[in-house]
């Protein structure tokens, strides 16, 4: 599922969604993207 909710909620504008989710430099691992994902497809390293 590629809904793009994660891209629109990123406060640092470092996410890009084309064929897969790409995280750019500057990600603070705030978890906002993971919190809005309707299918729990995103995991932050601090959650593991």
Residue 47 has pLDDT above 80, yes or no: no
Q: 20 pLDDT band (50/70/90 cuts)?
A: confident
| Per-domain residue ranges of the chain | 5-47
Classify residue 8 as left (phi > 0), alpha (psi -120 to 50) or beta. Answer: alpha
Residues 4 and 17: beta-carbon distance below 8 Å: yes
Q: 45 pLDDT band (50/70/90 cuts)?
A: confident
What pLDDT was estimated at residue 5?
Answer: 95
Average pLDDT over residues 27-31: 91
Average pLDDT over residues 10-30: 89
Of the CA atoms within 13 Å of residue 29, those in its CB half-sphere come to: 6
5-47 fold: Alpha-Beta Plaits (3.30.70)
* Cα 18 versus chain centre, distance: 13
Mean of the per-residue pLDDT values of the chain: 87
């Amino acid at each position: 599922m590629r809904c793009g909710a994660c891209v629109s909620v990123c406060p640092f504008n470092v996410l890009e969604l084309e064929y897969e989710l790409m995280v750019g430099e500057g990600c603070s691992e705030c978890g906002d993207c993971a919190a809005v994902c309707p299918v729990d497809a995103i995991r932050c390293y601090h959650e593991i």
